[in-house]
Structure 1
Amino acid sequence: MTEQLKEDLDKVIEELKKKVNELPDSVMAHHHLGLVYMKAGRIEEAIASLNRTIEIDPLNSDSMINLGAIYFGQGDLEKALELNTRAVKVHPESAQAYANLGLIYQQNNELEKAIENYERALQYNPKLVTAWLNLTSVLTMKGEDDRAVTAARKGLEIEPDSPLGHNNLAVALYFKQQFAEAYKHMQKAKELGYSVDPNFSARLKEHLG
């Protein structure tokens, strides 16, 4: 974080703290303060602000999702799962909450549940690129190569310059033995700054001779 950005965030935090003092039951003020604390890396204060938001408004799914993201980043998958599960109960069409649940289940190696939640996320927001890309990874892990290629292509339709998208498509195509096209997407991922697994790169080049 640059010094200027830190100063700017500190100013916003002070302004929001004043607003919270003036309006102690303002959901918006506590929520925004929590988000700025997150951006500033002041995680414990972010947790406190987002928890306060949920105390005031037990149906605030956005705060649940953001709080869940903090716990996920800390490796507390149980707490992240609890919060995103609560989020979909109060907001059953929350694509982001379902996508987050997919990622949590993926981390727990519960692949069927991960797929189910990624697909539910995409049902509500077909343009959620991260869900397409993570779905590609899980389908590849399960050996469902045709579905993995389809998911990767859909993600790249939305975000053509996604480095991860090109890498994931390269891997899915590799397992379908479509080595030439896989190599093309691997090279594109590299051009876009993705750190391609050198072992994967070497294996792909071997197949191409």
Structure 2
Amino acid sequence: MRLRTCYTRHWWTWRRIATKKRVIRDEPSASTAFLELGRALVHLKNYEKALPVLRQAVEEMPESGIAHYELGLAMVKMGQWESALPEFQAAVVVTPASAQLHFYLGAVFARLKRVPEAAKEFETSLQQDPDHYQANLVYGHMLVLEGEPAAALPKLRKAAKLQPDSGEPHRYLADAYAQLGQEGIAQRERLLAERLGPPGRPEKLAPVFASETP
């Protein structure tokens, strides 16, 4: 049943790709067709083919935040973080009220070790949506990695409250409390993290995009 479901999902994706290719062939100025084709190729993890299509989508629709985001996402999934940065920056410029886009931009800055810029974007994301789980989690974890455990605690506690069934916030809380010398609380958080989820690798920044591994 799982194989049939997977095949059906991919069959519809392939059919959508064929349809979008026909639209582009027959109407080269059909801007949204480039975007939809690129997204479909990303869905199939065919990132190399997706890149030129999504670049064309951005060229056709420079004011589309989603087009810039999708191009940046394809670049991230190919490990091209430096190239992805201006695309996420452009997405935020044209869609400044999106907490999610500010979070993604912050995550790219964090991956590039540009901590002040990352912190600014995470702060903006949380101003727009204080209950953004990923922003609280990744920002808090970044602060732990930067040796600022006291500043990290409120973010990580909020993340733990937002997703009480996830062990990830508790892993990073354990590291924060250990840095603060509160080993008893740190051990309690470690045990809770083990009970709630698989072991993590807190020495690396929490993964953000689906293609990343912790």
Shorter-chain TM-score range? 0.7 to 0.9
TM alignment of 1:26-175, pairs within 5 A: 26-175=30-179
Specify the alignment match of 1:11 in structure 2. 12
Does the Cα contact within 8 Å between 1:13 and 1:33 map onto a contact in 2? no
Give identity over the alignment, percent. 25
The question of whether the paired residues in 2 share the 8 Å contact of 1:102 and 1:115 is answered with: yes
Q: Matched residues in 2 for 1:133 and 1:114: separation?
A: 13
- Show the counterpart of 1:204: none
Greater Cα offset, 10-19 or 105-114: 10-19
Change (3 A) 1:2 1:117: farther
Q: Which residue number in structure 2 is paired with residue 21 of structure 1?
A: 22
- The count of aligned residue pairs is 199
- Tell me the equivalent position of 2:187: 183
Give the TM-score normalised by structure 1. 0.82
AA at the equivalent of 1:8: R
Q: Which amino acid aligns with 2:18?
A: K
Task: Tell me, yes or no, if the aligned pair for 1:87 and 1:94 is still in contact at 8 Å.
Answer: no
Q: Is the 8 A contact 1:16 1:29 kept in 2?
A: no
Aligned CA-pair RMSD: 2.6
**How much does 1:21 deviate?**
2.4
1:29 and 1:163 mapped to 2: Cα distance?
A: 40
Distance between the aligned counterparts of 1:22 and 1:136, measured in 2?
A: 45
- 5+ residue gaps, structure 1, are 200-209
Name the TM-score, length of structure 2 as normaliser.
0.80
Judging changes above 3 Å, is the alpha-carbon distance between structure 1 residues 131 and 8 closer, same or farther for their aligned structure 2 residues?
same
Return closer, same or farther for 1:81/1:15 CA change in 2, 3 Å cut-off.
closer
CA distance in 2, matches of 1:171, 1:9: 41
Displacement of 1:16 in angstroms is 4.3
Relative to structure 1, the CA distance from residue 166 to residue 79 in structure 2 (aligned partners, 3 Å threshold; closer, same or farther) is same
Runs of 4+ in 1 over 6 A off after TM superposition: none
Q: Is the 8 A contact 2:31 2:57 kept in 1?
A: yes
Deviation at 1:144, TM superposition (A): 2.0
1:156 & 1:9 partners in 2: Cα distance?
35
Q: What code does the residue aligned with 1:72 have?
A: V
Contact 2:106 2:118 (C-alpha < 8 Å) held by counterparts? yes
Q: Which amino acid aligns with 1:124?
A: Q
8 Å Cα contact 1:132/1:155 also seen in 2: yes
More helix by share: 1
The whole-number CA distance in structure 2 between the counterparts of 1:157 and 1:26 is 45
User: 2:137 touches 2:169 (CA, 8 Å); kept in 1?
Assistant: yes
**What letter corresponds to residue 86 of structure 2 in structure 1?**
E
The SS at the match of 2:13 is helix
Shift, 1:18, TM fit: 1.5
